[in-house]
A = this chain, B = another copy of it.
């Protein structure tokens, strides 16, 4: 786009596997197209406190396979204030940055929208979150890796679960979305998935579990999406233990291992394509859009639409969990 010579890139919010692949793709596509690139450390915080470094092609060598983000990430209290954003803008101008690429989740993109409007800064966003809870895109960078991390952990649990008559409740991440829980339940052949999108009555769950044990199964695994409202796996296990004192019920909370690890092929390719698309978008004069993919094609998603998570859950997938665990 006319006038844009230098692009700043930052990662913000919770980190996700594939962010480094995205940083690499944005940097090299930008350089390939004649832009100079600045790396901004610690997300918006680095913009506010002027932690900005020159990025060359070699700056992103051999990082495509690394989890986390070489740019670091942080939540910035300062950036939520007008003074903070003003300081951020001044540093950006001083560094000669004409446009921003922001990689992060809904909080990060909301912040990007506000900043873009206040200071008329061209910003392109990339969906970087394991939760897959952004609108306008089939998938987010990090989701497939987290799904496989959960799957491998549950495979290990299944080894030991099937050695005893055991009932495992496995809590997985997902923010307010059930994608990780539902799809990891399918991928691991678990007996049930408890997701925020759907009320679960304990008697319903009782039926599900009994269902499994009736089939002479010697173990059952229930994947539970994190959920502050219900208390997640721990609370659920307590309620179920009352109903099934006979089972040896255990709780596993996978926690932050779901955020790390070397990204899968799907996430590396998605991050690479989206990173290049971000630069294409800037060349096309696009601004204040998130790069998404719909049916495998790159699409531009207005920030407002992206942060409104409205993909809903595939009921068929819930049935699939039930049918396949008979």
Contacts known (A257-B157, A268-B187); A72 close to B163, Cβ less than 8 A: yes
B residues within 8 A CB of A258? 156
Min Cβ gap A164→B in Å is: 6
Min Cβ gap A91→B in Å is: 21
Stretch at the interface among A2-10, A61-69, A196-204, A223-231: A61-69
Stretch at the interface among A95-103, A116-124, A147-155, A300-308: A147-155
A74 to B266, CA, bound (A): 31
Q: Are A156 and B265 in contact (CB under 8 A)?
A: no
B residues within 8 A CB of A15? 159-160, 163-164
A135 at the interface (CB under 8 A from B): no
Q: Are B272 and A320 in contact (CB under 8 A)?
A: yes
A216 to B58, CA, bound (A): 9
Known: A29-B323, A186-B269, A253-B253. 20 other contacts (CB 8 A): A25-B324, A28-B323, A32-B326, A58-B215, A58-B216, A61-B217, A62-B158, A65-B155, A68-B158, A68-B160, A72-B164, A144-B266, A151-B264, A151-B265, A156-B257, A161-B256, A168-B256, A183-B269, A187-B265, A252-B257
Q: 8 interchain pairs (CB within 8 A)?
A: A17-B159, A61-B217, A64-B187, A67-B156, A72-B162, A151-B268, A187-B269, A276-B324
Among all A-B residue pairs, the 5 with the closest Cβ atoms: A156-B260, A159-B260, A67-B159, A68-B159, A295-B295
